[in-house]
Amino acid sequence: MQRWILASQSPRRRELLARFGHPFDVIPSEAEEKITTSDAKCAVEELSCQKAGWVLERAQDGDVVIGSDTVVVLEGEILGKPKDEKDAFRMLSELQGRTHEVLTGVTVAVKGGPLVTFHEETEVHVAPMSEAEIYQYIATGEPMDKAGAYGIQGAFGPFITGITGDYYNVVGLPLNHLYRVLKEGGLL
């Protein structure tokens, strides 16, 4: 059985990858993340490839490395993780009452073999929120390590009016697309 390595420290990605029932190791990438494009779709693919590449250099022949990166995009602007609570408030204020996109780039690389990079896009619809509701959510601490300053699977869930696309993509790993890539590559 091939060894899988998740190139991420995200507990959410760990939980999602575990759903495949295949054992895996976690080696968080320490790659310096560099975006060389203004196109968000290309940027998430580029970042996932950088993460997977860093771990791939330390892997053994035949190891399967899975790198991933997720961003929130509002009217073409990439919203990464907030720098502080003020930045989280700004992001959430911009997202409330509107629709935005969540993009996740994924790279599946086999040491000594092929590499596949793809992205998944999901539209997320957020209900209008008062300033008090935004501050109350920020007080949970949840927004601080998440792209766009929210987690759909946590305390922000009540403010989501709907999504168009893959829910798991918003959490951080598009399971069905990843499954198809792994299956087509004979890695399952």
The per-residue pLDDT for range 110-161, each reduced to its tens digit, is 999 999 999 999 999 999 999 999 999 999 999 999 999 999 999 999 999 9
- Report, as an integer, the average pLDDT of 61-86: 95
Question: Residue 48 is part of a domain; what is its CATH number?
Answer: 3.90.950.10
Per-residue pLDDT tens over the stretch 87-113: 999 999 999 999 999 999 999 999 999
Which of 105, 97, 176 is closest to 147 using CA atoms?
A: 105
Q: Which stretch of DSSP H or E encloses residue 85?
A: helix 85-95
Which of 2 and 128 is assigned the larger pLDDT?
Answer: 128
- Residue 33: its pLDDT value, please? 85
What pLDDT does 134 receive? Answer: 98
Is it the case that residue 10 has pLDDT exceeding 80? yes
Of residues 25, 69, 84, 87, which has the active-site annotation? 69
Say what the pLDDT of residue 62 is: 94
Q: According to the model, what pLDDT value does residue 34 have? A: 87
Q: Give residue 35's pLDDT band: very low, low, confident or very high (50, 70, 90).
A: confident
Mean of the pLDDT values across residues 163-167? 98
What mean pLDDT value characterizes the chain?
Answer: 96
User: Sorting pLDDT into bands at 50, 70 and 90, what band is 37?
Assistant: confident
Give me the domain span that covers residue 142: 4-184
183 residue type, one letter: K
145 is catalytic: no
Q: Is the pLDDT of residue 1 over 80?
A: no
Question: Residues 157-184, buried b or exposed e (16+ Cβ, 10 A)?
Answer: eebbeebeebebbbbbbbbebbeebbee
More confident call, 33 vs 58? 58
- For the chain, what is the domain count? 1
CB atoms within 10 A of CB 98: 13
